[in-house]
Amino acid sequence: MRRATPIVILVLIVAVCSCAKSPSMVVTPSEMDLGIVRAHDHIDLTTWVHNNGKGPLVVSTRPLCDCIKIFADLPDTIAPGDSAKLGFTFIVPAKDTITEYRASIAINSNDKKNKVAKVTVKCVIERARVSSKDSTIALLPPTEQLPPELQSVVNKINNNLLKLLAKKVGVKPVSSNKLMDDLITDPLLQKRVIDESIRKWALLDSIRWVFIYQFIPRRDGKVGINYLLVDALLEFPIIGRLTVSPEHALDSLVSSLVGVFKNYRQSVRQSTIYGLQVRMQKLRSRIINSPAPKVRFVDVRTKDTVNLRDFKGKTILMHFFSFSCE
């Protein structure tokens, strides 16, 4: 027993010293109750990660759903006694029924007592008032100032386009007055592309499709017409572009939209492919020549943790693949 005493004391000293240098992660707030929210709202939120321990806190974040986008990430390491801010945007998904919804971010750390903490957003999503069975459509007229002779053409389109579509493809024209009021008073309108705001309010105003267009005079006497057909139930709008003489503008628009509705699946497919391509181009422009994100890997051979930032100043090739790849 006497010989074992020094060993026991040594083990206790090592344990105490180890605990004394351990980090301690505390997240505040760890849960946020947003109450009742509307589909497609973009809500910016902030939480703090505190290190109440005596050792450096190593952290990394990972959203657990596509509806969370981090815009102010945590640093790799938080010193003892320090805190760091985590900023993120919660994009409210659309739901057919009023339902409670939860979304989370996982925060991984070297705190042995709290290796993974979660920041949870809780809300009740207001029910969307549109379904795939609806055929309502509204028109948002262009706001550009035009010469009188072209303004008369625009007025003709505004007054007759939806009526003609109703006869040819069976859509149900409705007023856009409330939709326009909602868009004007939407505080987030300037922070997002127009079709996102239109889709949000169309869902709540019982409008399936919203048609919006630009009327562009040309030097050759023709006009350019760029339009969006926003389906409140789909992520990407259907885009159309026409170049026509003013006297044929209405007929050309009707013909183009009849083609869209009669081949709707193909139109949606093309708009989805185009929307994804545009999104990828925007992501590339943000990523190229910008600092690499915080990424850690586990070496499958040595089981060591590899940090991408350890290779700063070096050129590396990263090959992403799936085990199912042939």
**How does pLDDT run across 34-68, given as a tens digit for each residue?**
887 877 788 889 999 999 999 999 999 999 998 99
Query: Domain boundary residue among 128, 157, 192?
Result: 128
pLDDT computed for residue 192 by the predictor: 66
Domain boundary among 73, 93, 128: 128
Q: Indicate whether 100 and 184 sit together in one domain.
A: no
Asked if residue 171 lies in contact with residue 238, where contact means CB atoms within 8 angstroms, the answer is no
Question: What CATH number is associated with residue 244?
Answer: 3.40.50
Give the per-residue pLDDT at 10.
47
Identify whether 288 is part of a domain: no
Q: Does some domain include residue 18?
A: no
Indicate the residue among 128, 151, 169 that finishes a domain: 128
In a domain? residue 88? yes
Structure tokens at 306: 């590899």
Mean of the pLDDT values across residues 78-83? 94
- The verdict on 58 and 192 lying in the same domain is no
Mean of the per-residue pLDDT values of the chain:
87
Domain tally, the chain:
2
Query: Which range has the worst mean pLDDT, 15-24, 208-217, 260-269?
Result: 15-24
pLDDT at 16: 47
- Whether 12 shows a pLDDT value over 50: the answer reads no
Together in a domain, 92 and 193: no
- Burial letters 70-93, b for 16+ CB under 10 A, else e: eeebbeeebeeeeebebebebbbe
Q: Kindly state the average pLDDT of the residues 165-185.
A: 94
Residues 143 and 201 placed together within one structural domain of the fold: yes
Strand duo 136-140 + 172-173: pairing: parallel
Q: Is the same domain home to 166 and 72?
A: no
Same domain for 148 and 121, yes or no, is: no
Burial class of residue 48 (count of CB atoms within 10 Å of its CB; 0-12, 13-18, 19+)? middle
For residue 257, pLDDT over 90 is answered with yes
286, part of any domain: no
What is the pLDDT at residue 295? 74
Residues 172 and 124 in one domain: no
What was the pLDDT predicted at 36?
79
**Range(s) of the domain holding residue 109:** 24-128
Residue 8: its pLDDT value, please? 47
Residue 188's pLDDT band, with cuts at 50, 70 and 90, is low
Sign of the torsion angle spanned by Cα atoms 169, 172, 175, 178: negative
Given a cut of 60, whether residue 325 has pLDDT beyond it is no
Q: Are residues 210 and 123 in the same domain?
A: no
Regarding whether 250 and 153 lie in a shared domain, the answer is yes
14-23, 80-89, 123-132, 316-325 — most confident range: 80-89
SS3 100: strand
Distance CA 56, CA 82 (A): 9
For residue 11, the model assigns a pLDDT of: 44
**Is 292 inside a domain boundary?**
no
Helix/strand/coil (H/E/C) assignment for every residue in 111-155: CCCCCEEEEEEEEEECCCCCCCCCCEEEEECCCCCCCHHHHHHHH
Regarding whether 43 and 112 lie in a shared domain, the answer is: yes
Judge whether 319 lies within some domain: no
- Asked if residue 268 and residue 196 are part of one domain, the reply reads yes
Q: Is the pLDDT of residue 17 over 60?
A: no
Task: With cut-offs at 50, 70 and 90, classify the pLDDT of residue 20.
Answer: low
Q: Is the pLDDT of residue 326 over 60?
A: no
Note the pLDDT of residue 1.
45
Bridging pattern class, strands 116-125 and 31-37: parallel
Strand partners, 305: 298
pTM of this structure: 0.67
Same domain, 147 and 257: yes
46 in a domain, yes or no? yes
Identify whether 266 is part of a domain: yes
Mean pLDDT of 281-310: 79
